[in-house]
Chain A
């Protein structure tokens, strides 16, 4: 019982480290690989919880996390990057150093906020809930400060990973058919954004979303 808690705690810290690391790098391909690491760690959390609780639907959740979040989604992202021959995040709104400072501050806020949110009989891993909030905040930070469409997508999936982690910790995930719906949804979302990204690239000859600033008023 406590072993499982300790394992999940360790995995959560690793998740946080990976998310913070993705704030500091500007290579787009490396960013996607960090997303793979994030999702693989998340699958490990789900597997640990499955072992601990003996709930079969948790194995399904772990399997779906691995196949959808850690393999299928990053594969689409890497395919986009190859198709448009893009390598680096240029001119993010914040320098990576400032972004990291902001991300650390957000992490502190996440730990503080999670302490106030009392989930009495959540899974006994004290780092997990704060880390899930931190993932949501860091994802928002990535979405708002990065200009490349793929980077914004990485931010969005980081947010969703955070919510998924919170779900695992609080309630052993959602009911299975809802979980499957959410995974299906994620796949369609990535597919649709991939198509849109390619069209933006075709049209503007760049994947900079700062070209997308002309609609006002």
Chain B
């Protein structure tokens, strides 16, 4: 798996090139993301077919779970970087971004993509923590890229809450290292994932219980799980839209990846009950917390952000339910959410730039002036809320089914999932239908929506195909991820 360093290296190089080739930064960034999409796909589908591999003297570790995250980051970052070309050009035209700032936008964008690729590929959990922290730092200035008051507020909140959360994560990591240095001796390998996993049963159970709780709070903060989600709607709502795509589609999954690795570790030490129940609880809470904010929402991108809280909750819930069916559906759902949310944010961004606002009270009749983004928004909403025949219906159905067949707490989780999904379906559809076909005071100051068509179409088409027929390569991939997540110690 010698491709792994290339995957991290390409966006790093691209970031530097963006600074030096200021005028061509957009092209460099777009080209780099197409390259990483190709390399990422090779790594991902390679990891689905073979058992876990380690490379570079144990620095890199790739199994199906890493492969899935790499695939998601590659897809979402390609969508974000390609969309950014049109979005930034538009923002420069309207004076929202100064021309001199453009290169720095792409610099931070590519740097954050490099950090997101590093998270699932690094074997050492300490370095993985550093990579997750780097994703916060590199995206914080992007969130504040429009130097408006609200954007600065969102970025500050994001940075502070994220840093405190990850500090708790670091403390959990430290306790893990302490426990591991007993079992493995004090060496760098005591934080290596493969070594830890192999010796998980020898770790001190009471320490690992505290460590998992701390990591769940820490990485859960970054993953937008309630009640640590409070920064998320602000950051995702205020960021320039390509950054929202990246934060919502890719970064949340990277943080959740950290939680899942520690869940496996805790399972090896404590048995499956402890961490599964915590995940189940926090997942159900995230769904419940998101519902009211979706129902009474005033801002289109915040609406999508709360939907992200809900869906991260659904994935956590699915892993908490456990068993092959739920884990398969969890992996499937991570990909579904990333694709659907990319479409939705691109559509919302196009409408936002056209209307000059994201306030739902001022977005009306979009289907006439901007048919493609409006259609993308409605179809994307149908997809993400679990309407057949789109793929999220299949994955959510699988999770609910597994819940009803599972233990009593899983049953409660499934009921929460169904109730939450129904309410969010009604709430989101109400809002986006008003945007698409409603009548009201808002009128776009600019009738032209010159871009976004293809970006909206492609992920939606993929969701439609996967809903009807799941390609065998992906089916095997999700099964392999379920295998990794379900390995009995």
Contact = CB atoms under 8 A, between A and B. Distances in A.
Given A177-B127, A178-B126, A195-B141, A189 B154 contact: no
Contacts of B177: 167, 170-171, 174
B234 interface: yes
A156 to B, nearest CB: 6
- Among the interface residues A136, A171, A200, which one has the most CB atoms of the partner chain B within 10 A? A171
A119 interface: yes
B174 A171 contact: yes
A188 B108 CA distance: 13
Contact of A192 (B140, B164, B238, B293): B140
Q: Is the interface of B mostly helix, strand, loop or mixed?
A: helix
- Among the interface residues B171, B187, B206, B293, which one has the most CB atoms of the partner chain A within 10 A? B171
Given A171-B186, A200-B156, A212-B157, A182 B137 contact: no
B357 interface: no
Interface stretch (B92-100, B142-150, B414-422, B455-463): B142-150
Interface size class of A (residues with CB under 8 A): 35 or more
A214 B191 contact: no
A103 interface: no
Interface string A80-107: 0000000000000000000000000000
Interface in A124-146: 136, 140, 143
B137 to A, nearest CB: 5
B210 interface: yes
B133 A175 contact: no
A174 B137 CA distance: 22
Contacts of B129: 182
Interface in A195-211: 195-196, 199-200, 202-204, 209, 211
Contacts of B293: 217
Contact of A143 (B148, B160, B238): B160
Interface in B137-176: 137, 140-141, 144, 147-150, 152-157, 159-160, 163-164, 167, 170-171, 174-175
B134 interface: yes
Contacts of A181: 126-127, 130
B164 A200 contact: no
B1 interface: no
B171 A156 contact: no
B124 interface: yes
B159 A193 contact: yes
Interface string B393-413: 000000000000000000000
Contact of A215 (B126, B181, B238, B296): B238
Contacts of A152: 160
B167 A160 contact: yes
A193 B133 CA distance: 13
B163 A199 contact: no
Given A184-B130, A196-B140, A217 B152 contact: no
A121 B144 CA distance: 46
A172 interface: yes
Contacts of B156: 149, 196, 200, 209, 212
Given A196-B144, A217-B293, A170 B152 contact: no
Given A170-B174, A182-B170, A215 B141 contact: no
A159 B186 contact: no
A117 interface: yes
Contacts of A178: 124, 126-127, 130, 188, 191
B239 to A, nearest CB: 12
Nearest to B175: A170
A189 B206 CA distance: 32
Nearest to A174: B126
A162 to B, nearest CB: 9
Nearest to B166: A185
Contacts of A140: 164
B485 interface: no
A119 B126 contact: no
A30 B148 CA distance: 31
A68 interface: no
Contacts of B160: 143, 152, 156
Interface of B: 124, 126-127, 129-130, 133-134, 137, 140-141, 144, 147-150, 152-157, 159-160, 163-164, 167, 170-171, 174-175, 177-178, 181-182, 186-188, 190-191, 206, 210, 233-234, 237-238, 293, 296-298, 302
Complex A-B, nearest 6 residue pairs according to Cβ-Cβ distance, in ascending order: A178-B126, A181-B130, A212-B153, A175-B188, A170-B178, A215-B234
23 contacts: A156-B163, A163-B174, A166-B171, A167-B177, A170-B177, A171-B177, A171-B181, A175-B190, A175-B191, A178-B126, A178-B188, A178-B191, A185-B134, A189-B133, A189-B163, A192-B140, A193-B159, A196-B144, A211-B153, A212-B153, A215-B150, A215-B233, A215-B234
